[in-house]
Chain A
Amino acid sequence: MTAILAANRFGLGARPGELKAIGGDPRGWLKAQLDLRNATPASIAALPGTEARLSTIPTLMGDPAEAQKKLAQAVLKAARDQVPQDSAARLQAAITSKTPLVERLVAFWSNHFTVSGARPVAAGLIGPYEAEAIRPHLFGRFVDLLKAATLHPAMLLYLDNATSIGPNSRAGQRRDKGLNENLARELMELHTVGVDGGYTQSDVTELAKILTGWTIRRPNQPQRAITAERGGAVFLTAIHEPGDKTLLGKTYRDQGENEVDAALEDLARRPATARFIATKLARHFIADDPPQAAVTALAETFTKTDGDLTAVTARLIDLDAAWTGDGKFRSPYDWVVAIFRAFAADAPDRAQRAVQAMNQLGQRLYFAPSPAGWPDDSASWLSPESLLARVDYAEAVGRTKSESDPMQLADLSVGPSLSTESKLSIQRAPSRSDAVALLLVSPEFLRR
C-alpha cells in the first residue's frame, strides 16, 4: 500500500513498472529524488530564458499611450507564441518524470508563488520564471526561493512592482508618481507570514517602499541608470524611495537595492512564515484539514534549519500522518497527469493534449484565477459540473484505449487500493473502453 501512496500522493501517479520499482522502500525512493540535479529536465532547460524574451518586449514605462499599445501587442504575441510551448514542456516533464516528487514540488511552489497569465503582461514569462526562480531553489533555503521569486521579472510585472515608484524618489518628484502596493501586500499575505501574520497597512506601505526600484529592463536603457541587476531584473535608484523604512517594528536603513534582501531575510525567519508554509505543505500532501501535530512538526524543522527545504520535505516524508488517511481529491492537473503517466503517453504531441485536457477540466495551466493560486481542497474541485466533465473526458479517453487491458492498468496505477465495487464494475463493463474509462473515474483513481 505504501508504494501506492509514494507514487500517487507524493508523486504524480504511477507509471508502468513504478510501483515495482518503489518496492518496499517508499521513503527511500522519495528521498533519493531530493537532489538539485533532478530539478531541471533538459527539455525545460532548453526553453528560451527571460533575458531573451524580454528583449522582444518594449517598455512598460515611458510614453504612456503609445508604449502601452505597443507593449500590449508585444506581450499578447509573446503569450500566444510561448505559453503553448511552455505549458507542453511543463506537462511533458510531469508525465515522463522518473522523479515525480520533484515535479510535484515544482507545481506546489509555483502555485505558492503564483504568476498567472490572467495578466497577459506576465504570461510569456511564466515558463522561464519556473525554470529560473522556482526549480533551482527547490532544495535550498526558503529565503533564496523567496528572493528569486519576488525579484523575477515575471513577478515584478504580474504584481505591478515594475511600475511602482517611490513618491520622494527623483522620478517620483519629477513625474508626481507614487507607490503600487500590490506586490508588497501579497508578499506578506500569500508568500510569507500569511494574512494573520500581524502586519498592518503601514507595514504594507513600508514594504512597498523597500521594493521600489526593482523593475524590468527597458530596451535602450542607459547602463548608467541601472544600479544593480539580478536575474533579468534591474534596480533603478531613480525610482527607489529614499530614507529609512520601518517594517514590522524594525527599521531598515536607507540602503538602496540591499534593503529588499534584509527585509526578505527577516520575513522568511518569522515564526508565522514557518507556520504558514508548514500548513500549506501539510494541506497539499496530507489532508484538506491537516493534523496540527504534522503542521507543528514541519514548522519546527523549517525554523530549526533556517528554512532548508530539503530538510522540510524529508521531514514531511518521515511523518506517519502523511502515510495515513483518505488523502486528497485530485485536482485536474493531478488527474490528467496521472492518466497520461498510467498510459506512458510520453510524446510531445501527447503533452499538448494534456494541456488541452486541463483547460477543458477547468484548470488552465499557468492561468490561476488570482495571486492566491489554484485552490488546494476537495470542495473547490468536486463540484457537480467538474465531476461530470471528468466522466465525459474519461469516456473519451476510454474510446481511444480499447486495446488496453483494464485490470492491468488498474494494477499498475492504483494497485491494491482498488475497492471491490470498482473492481466489479470494471470487470463487468460491457466493453474494454468502458472498463478503462470506469477505472479513470473510480473513487480510487480520483484520489491520491
Chain B
Amino acid sequence: MLNRRHMLSLTGSLAVLAALPARLALADAPTDARFVLAIQRGAMDGLHAVPPYADPNYKSLRGNLALTDNGDAESLLDLDGKFGLHPKLPELKAWYDQGELLVVHAVATPYRERSHFDGQDLLENGTAQPHAGNSGWLNRAIGLMGGDRRLGLALGPEVPLALRGDTAVASWAPEKLPSAAPDFLNLVQAMYAKQPGLQAVLRQAIDADQMAAQAVGSTSGMGAFRPGNAAHILAESGGKLLAQPNGPRIAVLELQGWDTHTNQNGRMAQALTQMNDALAALKASLGPVWSKTVVMTATEFGRTARPNGSNGTDHGTATAVFLGGGAVEGKRVITHWPGLDSAQLYQNRDLAPTTDFRSIAKAVLQTQLGLPQDALDRVVFPGSGGAKPLADLLRV
C-alpha cells in the first residue's frame, strides 16, 4: 500500500497548511556526518562476542562458553592474534578487514551495580547516576548542534531515553495499520489546536511519515514486524532515511536478546546473528553515505566472566564496544586488558573495566559531530571531565 500522507499538504485546508511546518531541506545542516547508536538491551557478554582467546585463563574460566580457534565453522574469527569475533559476526569481520571496524574492550559506564533498568537509564541519561534526569545524552548533543528537530531519529515505535529531551526527534517504525486519510489527519490536527503537547507530537509523526514515504516507500512488503526481524527492517529503513540529503543525521537502533542467563551459546548466536544482519542492512542502505558514518554499540554492562549453573551468565560489569563505519579508523582492538585471573576480575566475578564508555562516546561526538570537549564534559555527559575522549578513533 502506498503511503497517502505525503499528499497532506496538497489537500489540507488553508488554516491547517499555515500550521504545518515548512518542509525545509537541511541545507544549513550543522553536519553532513551520520551517527547511529545501537543499544543492546539486556547486557551483552563482551567475552562471548569478542573472545580474548589468547588470555591464558580464557578456556578454563569460560568452560563450555569458550569458543574454539581451530578454524572450523564454530570457530572464532581471529582479529589480531589475541582477540577474535564470534563466528556469527561475519559482516563485522569483513568491516574489520577493510579497516572499518574497531573494538574497544573492557569498557563500562560509571555504573557499578547490576540492575538492567538502572544500568540502561544511566547509559542513556549520560550522567553517573540512574534516574538523574529526564533527558538523554544524544538529545542534549542534538541541542548543542542547534536543536533542529529533523536531526534525531528513533528507529522503533518508542523514543528511547537517549533521544528524549528538550529537542523534538522523529520516530519511525513500519506501519502495521493502514494510514488514516489526509483529510482525517487535518481534522485531528484542528481538534488539537489548544493541545500543544499532542499537536507537536502528531506533527512530528506526520513529518517523519512524509519523509519515510519518500525515502523508504511502502513498508507493506517488509513482512510482519516481529522480534526476530524487527532490527533488520528498522536498520534497513533507518539507513534509507539517514541517506536522504535532507534527512536525519543521528539515529538510535535497539537490539534485543542479550540477557543470556541460560543456554547462552544458542541465545548469543541468535542475538549476534540479528545484530550482524541488521548492521549489514544498515550499511547497504546507507549507500555512499556509509563513508561518513559511525555506528557505535552500547550495552548497560557485561556479564559474569564464569558461566552460571544454567550454561548462561549473570549480570556483570565490563564488556566490549563496537565502532563501525566508513569514518572509523578501524582494524584495531583497543584495550588496557585487565586479564582474566581470579585476582584480576572485578570482585572476583566480572571482567574488570579499564575504559569509560563516555571516553568513546565523547571521542565520537567530538570528531564526528564537531562538539567541543567543554560542552561534552559539562552538558552531554555532565561531570565527566575525568573521562577524557580517546584519541584517534576516527579518520579525520
Contacts and interface: CB of A to CB of B under 8 A. Distances in A.
B74 to A, nearest CB: 14
B191 A442 contact: yes
Interface string B17-58: 000000000000000000000000110000000000000000
A386 B176 CA distance: 11
Interface in A374-429: 379-380, 382-389, 391-396, 419, 421-422, 425, 429
Interface stretch (A159-167, A218-226, A259-267, A306-314): A159-167
Q: Which of the listed residues B117, B157, B173, B256 has the most CB atoms from chain A within 10 Å of its own CB?
A: B157
Nearest to B224: A359
Contacts of A178: 307-309
Contacts of B158: 362, 380, 383, 385-386
A388 B41 contact: no
Contacts of A68: 263, 266
Given A163-B310, A179-B308, A385-B173, A195 B115 contact: yes
A118 B195 CA distance: 36
A179 B117 CA distance: 22
Interface residues of B, number: 64
Q: Which of the listed residues B177, B197, B198, B349 has the most CB atoms from chain A within 10 Å of its own CB?
A: B177
Contacts of B249: none
A372 to B, nearest CB: 5
Interface string B55-74: 00000000000000000000
A134 interface: no
B180 interface: yes
Contacts of B188: 391, 438, 441
Interface in B139-194: 154, 156-159, 164, 170-173, 175-181, 183-185, 187-188, 190-194
Interface in B117-152: 117-118, 130, 134
Contact of B180 (A163, A195, A392): A392
A385 B227 CA distance: 18
Contacts of A118: 227
A425 B187 contact: yes
Given A177-B309, A201-B347, A382-B201, A185 B114 contact: yes
Which range contains the number of A residues in contact with the other chain? 35 or more
B190 to A, nearest CB: 6
Given A195-B117, A393-B177, A387 B205 contact: yes
A160 B310 contact: yes
A387 B259 CA distance: 30
A180 B310 contact: yes
Interface in B258-276: 259, 261-263, 266
A181 interface: yes
Interface of A: 64, 68, 118, 159-160, 163-165, 167, 172, 177-182, 185, 189-190, 195, 201, 204, 359-360, 362, 369-372, 379-380, 382-389, 391-396, 419, 421-422, 425, 429-430, 434, 437-438, 441-443, 446
Given A383-B159, A441-B191, 20 more contacts: A160-B262, A160-B312, A177-B310, A190-B117, A362-B157, A379-B134, A382-B197, A384-B204, A387-B205, A389-B177, A392-B177, A394-B180, A395-B181, A419-B194, A430-B187, A434-B184, A437-B180, A437-B184, A443-B192, A446-B198
26 contacts: A159-B261, A160-B261, A163-B262, A163-B309, A178-B308, A179-B308, A179-B309, A180-B308, A181-B315, A182-B314, A185-B115, A195-B117, A383-B157, A385-B158, A385-B172, A387-B201, A388-B206, A389-B175, A389-B176, A391-B184, A391-B202, A393-B177, A396-B177, A425-B190, A425-B191, A429-B187
